[in-house]
Amino acid sequence: EAGVAQSPRYKIIEKRQSVAFWCNPISGHATLYWYQQILGQGPKLLIQFQNNGVVDDSQLPKDRFSAERLKGVDSTLKIQPAKLEDSAVYLCASTNRAGRQETQYFGPGTRLLVL
């Protein structure tokens, strides 16, 4: 079974530019998460989708971050415009059900450096 796929793996941009990350969850997984992991810290949830609907985006900085999952499968996370403090690894995870006990399976992440 293929795991969670993410692209690109690395991205370097200048501040105020825009960037987008893509995630393809494990086949059949209805719940998808985006996390931000700053160096030296654990991942922090940005947004959770159940199919194509948003369940939790309370920690998403909505003035610059946006995410969508139009067909309930792939998802895109966008930052516009980027700030220096957005430098981090962006991780995508998925589960096949939405329950809190469900194990989240993570992709390899996208490492973003904002100069």
Partner 1 sequence: AQKVTQAQTEISVVEKEDVTLDCVYETRDTTYYLFWYKQPPSGELVFLIRRNSFDEQNEISGRYSWNFQKSTSSFNFTITASQVVDSAVYFCALRENSGYSTLTFGKGTMLLVSP
State the residues that interact with partner 1 by CB under 8 A. 3, 33, 40-45, 48, 56, 58-59, 89, 91, 93, 100-101, 103-109, 111
Q: Outline where DSSP puts E strands in 1-115.
A: 5-7, 10-13, 19-24, 31-37, 44-50, 53-56, 65-68, 75-79, 88-95, 105-106, 110-114
Q: Closer to partner 1 at the Cβ: 15 or 86? A: 86
Q: Closer to partner 1 at the Cβ: 12 or 15? A: 12
Q: Are strands 105-106 and 53-56 parallel, antiparallel or unpaired?
A: unpaired
Q: Closer to partner 1 at the Cβ: 75 or 110? A: 110
Give the 3-state secondary structure of residue 100.
coil
Q: Closer to partner 1 at the Cβ: 15 or 98? A: 98
Cα 58 from Cα 108, distance rounded (Å): 24
CB of 97 to partner 1, least distance (A): 13
CB of 17 to partner 1, least distance (A): 23
- Tell me what percent of the chain is helix, strand and coil, each rounded to the nearest 5: 5, 50, 50
CB of 51 to partner 1, least distance (A): 18
CB of 16 to partner 1, least distance (A): 26
